Structure 1
Amino acid sequence: MDAPREQYWAALSRGDRAGALQAVKQLHQQGRTHLEIIDEVLVPAHERAAGLWLAGEWTAERQRTATSINEGLVHWLCSFAPPPPSDRPLVVVATVEREELPALVLAEGLGAAGYRTAFAGGGAAADDLLRQVLTRRPRALLVSAGRTSSLARLKPLLGHLRATGIPVVAGGAAFGGDPQRATAVGATAYADSVRDVLTLLEQLPRRLPTRTPEPPSPADLEAAWLTDFRHEITPYVLRALAARHPAARRPRWWAELEDHVDHVLGCLAASLVTGDETIMVEVREWLTRVLDARGVGPGLVAEVWELLAVPLRGHPLARAHLAGSAAPRSATDGGQTDGLTTV
């Protein structure tokens, strides 16, 4: 097992799809099941690649290539799984993000347990997902979310789904292991693993009492505004940062900064819809860690927070959540930010 696993990692590291496929084929020919290969090779490789990006050793493009290879091979491996009986309950598995791997692994785990699954691809439009659920009338909808910044988009969708009475189970890294985040965005329950999902599918009623979606709260309205205008706020922050830091001093990771700022805005919307201000503390710590691994002092994070506050005038709840996560400046730094320390 070790040799093919290392062969797979070596191929993945250099973005070699053919080499990765050959390693997986070798494991399959040795008698390893598709779930064993996914759990013991592909998932650990996915987590290893994510860790290398976080540590600044891989670029975002290199990690995306590895993710694409992993997802393609999960699809290929799953084609060998025998279909569950046609009379078994149907479960729709969806993700609101482009990255599909966690949701694919969940779907295969349910299939191995005897459930029929329908997979709604990454980034499925809300209307399409709602239409699919209403048409198929599944036992439940399982929603996987890996990025906390996607939670605000879930709340209106899950509100409409709850009105159908179909149970919704949510899980993934976006919830930080906190069931309250899941129920705050409208999920019936939270699951931390495939085993948890299987237990819930046995326990939850087949249909819940239908409930009319509640009108949006002031926090929901501010979150919706953030979601609608992220595409304008993010470029504003990037332009302001670029004006402060001349092009000659910008490091190679600068191109990733747009996604980081957009992620912070999404997390701000998520903190509003869940009422969980620790989300902003967590994303500030995350961004600090990402930039620190790339040799950047904490001053750039402070600049991002300062610039984000400007377009939030007139949105007091968003400003309060943002300000609540701002780290106090040291009395010894004279109030100055560190800026970029690498080129």
Structure 2
Amino acid sequence: MLPPAWKVSSPRIGGGSLMSHDALIERFLEALVSGDRDAARGVVRDASPTLPEATDLIVDLFWPTYELIEKLNRNDQLSALSYRMSIRLLRVLADQTSASIVRAPSRNKRIFAVGGPTDADDLGVQMAVDMLEANGFTVAFAGGGIPADEILDHVHTNRPDALLMFCPSPQDLPAVRQVIDTIHEINAVPDLQIVVGGGVFNRADGLAEEIGADLWAADPLDLVDELVNHPDRKAEPEQRTVGRRRKTRTAA
């Protein structure tokens, strides 16, 4: 059962009202945390009139619900059982939806993506990877728990256009910082873009700049937007300082 204080706050989607979208996410969340597979699939079916494409489901249903689950878990408002059931069921639905994504023509851009150590972390990165592939990027996704030296070896050997690292918690930050510092020091792949995302960067404004990332994003759609619109952006040395705030991008 959801905590009494829980409340949906999400943007309007498609042609539906804000209220109907919030109700849809609430139904979906309730089905996920209770492990009700039939009900969860029913919500996805009911969403099809306003979210007809697979990418619409990822951006406007799966991702905001995923963020709510993570927030409830961080605040100890979900039992371990409900949390695990919700993540596992959402992963199944995301996998099924991914198979129906219509992919855009190739951009001839290769991305190597790594994530955090848990199933929930992998799920977040997977949705981002799905959106990147839908928009013409070629992605190799290794999941989490990869040693820093193996990440560096892969980058130096395969020379992708971008390295995408998700950092969901503060405990993961030192490893991400180590990889970025080593890449800058060695400079073996000078054209490589370093892209970061995940909860710790969303909750600590300016952190991505401080550690020397070239791009950073709050969600999968933001990630695609950054990589499409800033393919050549590189961090400046003076960027790596504490306290500078990224300007909030306004919607077009």
TM-score category of the 2 structures, normalised to the smaller one: 0.5 to 0.7
Q: Distance in 1 between matches of 2:159 and 2:96?
A: 27
Alignment of 1:44-123 (within 5 A): 44-86=64-106, 88-98=108-118, 99-123=121-145
The change in CA–CA distance for 1:158 and 1:96 in structure 2 (over 3 A counts) is farther
The structure number with the bigger radius of gyration is 1
| TM-score, length-scaled by structure 2 | 0.66
Per-residue CA deviation, residues 41-92 of structure 1 (Å, 9 max, x unaligned), is 2223223333433454321332132122222322221111134435621222
Kept in 2: contact 1:94–1:119 (CA 8 A): yes
Q: Go from structure 1 to structure 2 and tell me whether the alpha carbon gap of 1:146 and 1:130 turns closer, same or farther (over 3 Å shift).
A: same
AA matched with 1:178: D
Alpha-carbon distance change, 131 to 96 in structure 1, aligned in 2, over 3 angstroms: farther
1:176-325 pair list within 5 angstroms: 176-179=203-206, 181-193=207-219, 194-195=221-222, 198-200=225-227, 202-205=229-232
Distance 1:139 1:108 in 2: 17
- 2:151 corresponds to which letter in structure 1? L
Amino acid at match of 1:82: V
C-alpha distance in 2 between matches for 1:83 and 1:119: 17
Which of 40, 43, 47 aligns to 1:20? It is 40
The one-letter code matched in structure 1 to 2:88 is S
CA distance in structure 1 between the partners assigned to 2:98 and 2:208 by the alignment: 28
For residues 161-181 of structure 1, the C-alpha deviation after alignment (integer angstroms, 9 at most, x for no partner) is 3333222011222123433x2
What is the aligned partner in structure 2 of residue 174 from structure 1? 200
One-letter identity of the residue aligned with 1:67 = I
The alignment partner of 1:67 has SS state of: helix
The percentage of counterpart residues that share the same residue type is 24
Return closer, same or farther for 1:91/1:64 CA change in 2, 3 Å cut-off: same
- Per-residue deviation, 1:117: 2.2
**In structure 2, C-alpha distance between the alignment counterparts of 1:205 and 1:275, rounded to whole Å:** 21
C-alpha contact (below 8 Å) 2:210/2:242 kept by paired residues? no
Q: 2:246 aligns to what?
A: none
SS of 2:78's equivalent? coil
Aligned partners of 2:107 and 2:231: how far apart in 1? 19
- Consecutive unaligned residues in structure 1, runs of 5 or more: 209-273, 278-343
Retained in 1: the 8 A contact 2:214–2:233? no
The answer to which structure has the higher helix fraction is 1
Provide closer, same or farther for how the CA distance between residues 31 and 148 of structure 1 changes in structure 2, counting only shifts above 3 A: closer
The CA RMSD over aligned residues, in Å, is 3.6
1:138 is aligned to: 160
Deviation at 1:183, TM superposition (A): 4.1
Q: Given residue 62 of structure 1, which amino acid in structure 2 is its aligned partner?
A: S
- What is the Cα deviation at residue 18 of structure 1? 4.9
Q: Where does 1:2-21 land on structure 2 (aligned, <5 Å)?
A: 7-21=27-41
Asked if structure 1 preserves the Cα contact closer than 8 Å seen for 2:107 and 2:137, the reply is no
- In the alignment, the residues of structure 2 paired with residue 45 and residue 207 of structure 1 have an alpha-carbon distance, to the nearest angstrom, of 32
Which 5+ residue runs of structure 2 have no aligned equivalent?
Answer: 1-15, 244-252
